[in-house]
Each structure stands twice: as structure tokens, then as C-alpha cells.
Amino acid sequence: MTGQMDMDTLQLPERGQDPRSLTKEELAEICQAYGEKSYRAGQIAQWLHKKLVSGYDEMKNLPAALRSRLAADYPMQSVAKEQVLVSAIDGTRKYLFALADGNVIESVMMRYSFGISVCISTQAGCRMGCRFCASTLGGLARNLTPAEMLQQVYEIQKDVGERVSHVVLMGSGEPFDNFDAVMRFLDLITGEDGLHISARDITLSTCGLVPQMRQFSDRKMQVTMAVSLHAPNDAVRRMTMPVANRYSMEEILDACRYYIRQTGRRVTFEYSLMGGINDSDRDARELAHRIAGMQAHVNLIPVNPVSERDFKSTGRDRAEGFLHTLEQCGVNATIRREMGRDINGACGQLRKSFLDRRERSGRIPAEDGAQ
């Protein structure tokens, strides 16, 4: 049997993938197919996920032949810092990263008393169409790979020179619309061969894709699930979230109860307050009634106005009034602390302004729809 046939029968990971998207077991299969000792996989994983190198050249303890073979079959694709905005108020950093194919994405670093939290994107753009959100204005460009999600965290950790302790999947994109890659990302970042971030220190936010919420619950991971509710009922929800036409709030709440049962964790509801749309005391009472008895926490977020959209933010007093009404009804809730107010473009706005600039200056935009 030739070496080539060996590789075919082993069903190696598809070539062209960034090695950071692969598990240590998959790296071991590749090493084996190359006729290398399997301990090489551990060395490679360590360079990739502990030492956070950006090229095979840096993997000093690997034979040169192995390095060049890996570089040909599984090239490392960079996620490069294009722009960084730093808040003078609290040190929050907003990053614009360029992907190897010219797409751009954004991520945010926030410093808390409990550690450093990084908010990452899971897709370039988004196709969910929420009307208050800038990420969805240009539609979905493409899904991100696990390696591209990891690298947002790795690049930020290298940039600030401190350990990232928390990760939130709340940047551009709908994580459950890129389910398999996001699950692989979670396995890689929580794994012992990776940054080994505790699942409890990771939050995934979804607009409410019910089948995937259930599928995710079945994995029984201790990752917090946050659900973007933004409304007390389907009629109000449909005004701002097209996905509400696909799944009813009752189906979403049922899926949340399933998550709570499967994981033993409470669920977080995100509720962006939009002036005159969903921020009255009546809305608060209706919301409280709908989620009564659930192990849940409500995160209130005064909507961040996007210039292309005409939603008005709820003032501080009204937000506190809403919070008070929820609390009176026995609901556990807080108003989200605002970070980086001075660099506070809403989700997706940094990317949007970069793409607009690039279009004006005539640089060729990345091809849409490439997977």
C-alpha cells in the first residue's frame, strides 16, 4: 500500500483548513499519515494553542520537512489587526481584524474586576436581520472557522499581554447559524490542550434558533446561554426581529426550560430597551409574567442607536423604572454596565464604517457568499 492510499483510507481532515481548527486527535492522524510519531501532534497543539505562534517556522522542535508539508496541506491563515480603538475611560479595546480573504470582523476586550473578557464574532456579517443591529446591514458574508474565532482571542491576549479569562460570543453573527464551527471552537478553547478557559466563563448569545438551542442543551456544556428576547410577546418581537416569524416566544421559552433542565444552569435573557417600543411598565409586567418561575436573569441594555436605524434609546430613568417593575414582579434583573462609552459604536459599526470607507476608496471588497 502506498503512503497516498494510507492517507485516503484514514480520511484525514480536509486539506486547506487552518490547523487551529483541528483537534489534537486529528493532528495525530495527520502526523501518522505523514509517517511521523504521534507525539508530534502534542507539540504542534502546544505551539498553536499555548504559545500562540502564527507560523510553522516558529515551531522549532519540529523537523523542517514536517513543517513544510503541514504548511502546504494545512496552511495557517492570519487574523490580522487592522485597527484598534482604546477607550480613555475604562481601557476597553475595540479591534477590527482582517481575515486572509479580505473580509473584516470586530472583537472587543473588556477589563473587569474578575478578569479580562473578550467578545468575539462568529460570522462575518449576519443574516438574521434584527432591525436595531448594524451587523446585519450588509447581510452575511460568510461563516467564520473555529481557527478564526480562536485567533480573535489569541491576538487580543498577545496584544494586552495578559490572560483572557472570559469569552462572550456576542459580536457579529448568530452563533447557532454556524453551529458546528462554534461547537468545535468551544471544545478547543475549553480543552486542556487549548487556553483551557472554563465553560462557566463563556457565554453564547442567540437570537433564538430553537432546534439549535435544544441541540446545544443536549451537549450539557456548562456554557451560559443568553437569549435575545427584546420583547414581552410575539407581536412586539416581530417588529424588530424577523426570526420571530420563524419561532414563537413560547417555543423559545420551552427550549430555555429544556436548557435549564439539561445543564442545571440558569438562562440569561437579553432585553435591549427601545424607546416607545418595548420599554413601558406594561411591557415589563408582561415579560415578568411570561418568564415567571424560570431560573433566569434579565440583562437590560439601553439600545445603542445605529445611524441607519431609527430606534431611540431608553433614558436612564425609564430603564430604572423598567428594572424596578421587573424586580417587583420577582424577576432577577440588572442594567448592563456600559463599557467603552467613548468608542461605543454599536455591534458591527466599526466593521460597517471600514467597509464603507473601503468601498469609497475603490479597494476590491471581499467576495460575498464565499463559504
* Residues belonging to the active site: 106, 347
- Identified binder of ligand SAH from the candidate list 45, 105, 256, 346, rule CB under 6 A: 346
State the nearest-atom distance from the C-beta of 226 to ligand SAH, in Å: 7
User: Using the rule CB under 6 A, is 272 a contact of ligand SAH?
Assistant: yes
Return the residues of window 244-263 that contact ligand SAH according to CB under 6 A: none
Count helices and strands in the chain by DSSP H and E runs:
12, 12
User: Using the rule CB under 6 A, is 339 a contact of ligand SAH?
Assistant: no
- Identified binder of ligand SAH from the candidate list 28, 30, 96, 133, rule CB under 6 A: 133
User: Using the rule CB under 6 A, is 239 a contact of ligand SAH?
Assistant: no
Q: Which three cell numbers stand for residue 306?
A: 445605529
* Cα→Cα distances 75→17, 19, 67, 124, 252, Å: 7, 7, 10, 21, 40
State the nearest-atom distance from the C-beta of 290 to ligand SAH, in Å: 17
Nearer to ligand SAH, 223 or 306 (CB): 306
Nearer to ligand SAH, 71 or 301 (CB): 301
Count of residues of this chain found to bind ligand SAH when the rule CB under 6 A is applied: 18
Length of the chain counted residue by residue: 371
Distance (Å, whole) CA 200 – CA 196: 11
- Identified binder of ligand SAH from the candidate list 106, 174, 201, 279, rule CB under 6 A: 174
Strand ranges (E), the chain: 80-86, 93-98, 104-112, 115-119, 123-125, 140-143, 166-169, 202-206, 224-228, 267-273, 296-302, 333-335
- Inter-axis angle of helices 146-160 and 179-190, nearest 10: 40
Distance (Å, whole) CA 75 – CA 17: 7
Q: Which three cell numbers stand for residue 187?
A: 471544545
Nearer to ligand SAH, 67 or 312 (CB): 312
User: Using the rule CB under 6 A, is 151 a contact of ligand SAH?
Assistant: no
Instruction: List, as one string, the DSSP characters of 206-227.
Output: ES--HHHHHHHHHTT--PEEEE
Stretch that binds ligand SAH, among 37-45, 96-104, 130-138, 183-191 (CB under 6 A): 130-138
Nearer to ligand SAH, 27 or 168 (CB): 168
Return the residues of window 195-224 that contact ligand SAH according to CB under 6 A: 205-207
Return the residues of window 287-306 that contact ligand SAH according to CB under 6 A: 301, 303-304, 306
Cα angle, residue 107 at apex, residues 105 and 108 outer, rounded to 5°: 155
Query: Locate cell 480603538: which residue?
Result: 85
Binding site for ligand SAH (CB under 6 A): 128, 130, 132-133, 170, 174, 205-207, 228, 270, 272, 301, 303-304, 306, 346-347
